[in-house]
Amino acid sequence: MEALLEELLEQCRPYARQGKVATYIPELAKANLDDLGIYVLRSDGQHFHAGDWNKPFAIQSVIKPILLLLALMDNGEEYVRSRVGVEATGKPFDAINVTDQTLLSDHLNPMVNMGAIAICGLIHGASYEEKFQRLLELTRKLAGNPDIQLDQDVYLSEKHTGYKNRALAFLLKTYGMLEDDVEEVLDFYFKACSISVTSQDLAVIGSVLSSHGTLPDSEERVFDREYGNYVNAILMTCGMYDGSGAFAVNVGVPAKSGVGGGIMAVVPTRMGIGIFSPGLDEKGNSLAGIQLLERLSNRLYLSIF
């Protein structure tokens, strides 16, 4: 397996330089286009890796499924679904999804910024500081890594430049879909996106989703099985934004991308996969990362279809 990962990594290396680093968050523009890493954790406990699997990067939108999980654990499925819908938007991650001057919960999806910001408003905690600590603790628990921290530079960089997200949050406020103070919710969202992880962390989190809620080494249950189904289904239909259809056909597993270059892929009952390559395609998904997943899926018959 490790030899296969090495072989595929070499095949995909040329694609890494064809992508572009995210520049709208200045700190992310410093990423090295040559970085490319993969980590696989199988349900039998075996793990494999190649390349820059241990390099840290900002989790960015890969936090969205974890935010959704925490919102489900705090509020239950019915309430979360009444506030943020589950229909695929087929639109870019920062789309303004307002139809005919109204915004309904069905226009929101937890994997797209506007829906994810609305989800932030559903997390329990006495203060936004406490809410963030709860999110960080859940991320650490899912990844089995107590050392996961906030990347302060990425957080401040995004906080200073996040005009589009401010616009999205104020729209939510306008339509009564955000109760709390807009800047406080945004501060939490920017911090959430700036948590620093490795491909290994994403693979372990993906493996917990692949088992629908149990930790790999202990069989301890972290969340209800139904929440695993809920999150995986939304990852399948909207995890790669307006690239989700092609990804379903070409790779065929639930996955989430982030503009930091990470992809977390979930192969239900079989494995979690974490990938890092910061060169992005025009949709904001890791370009070499998708190539790598496509090849791995073909070789190991990973598609759930």
Q: Pick from 60, 198, 211, 297: which binds ligand DON (CB under 6 A)? A: 60
Per-residue x/- marks for ligand DON, 170-209, CB under 6 A? Answer: -----------------------x----------------
Known binding residue 97? Answer is no
128 included as an active-site residue: no
Residue that the structure tokens 């559903």 belong to: 122
Q: Is 61 in the site for ligand DON (CB under 6 A)?
A: yes
Q: Annotation-wise, does 250 bind a ligand?
A: no
- SS3 state at 19: coil
Taking a C-beta distance cutoff of 8 angstroms, is the pair 288, 279 a contact?
yes
Restricting to residues 122-181, which ones interact with ligand DON according to CB under 6 A? 158, 165
**Burial 89-118, CB ≥16 within 10 A → b, else e:** bbbebbbebeeeeebebebbbbbbbbbbbb
- Number of residues in contact with ligand DON under rule CB under 6 A: 13
Q: How far is the CB of 95 from ligand DON (least distance, A)?
A: 11
CA distances, 110 to each of 114, 143, 200 (Å): 8, 21, 24
CB nearer to ligand DON: give 6 or 173.
Answer: 173
For residues 76 and 153, give the distance between their C-alpha atoms in angstroms, rounded to a whole number. 34
61 is catalytic: yes
| Structure tokens given for 60 | 């960015």
Q: Is 241 annotated as a binding residue?
A: yes
Q: Which amino acid is at 96?
A: I
Active-site residue, from 155, 189, 227, 230: 189
Can 189 be counted among the known catalytic residues?
yes
Chain residues 250-289 in contact with ligand DON, contact rule CB under 6 A: 257-259, 284-285
- For the question of residue 218 being annotated catalytic, the response is no
- Is-catalytic flag, 64? yes
* Cα–Cα distance for residue pair 234/197, rounded to 1 Å: 22
Which stretch of DSSP H or E encloses residue 272? strand 271-276
Catalytic amino acids? 61, 64, 189, 241, 259
Query: Which positions touch ligand DON (CB under 6 A)?
Result: 60-61, 93-94, 113, 158, 165, 193, 257-259, 284-285
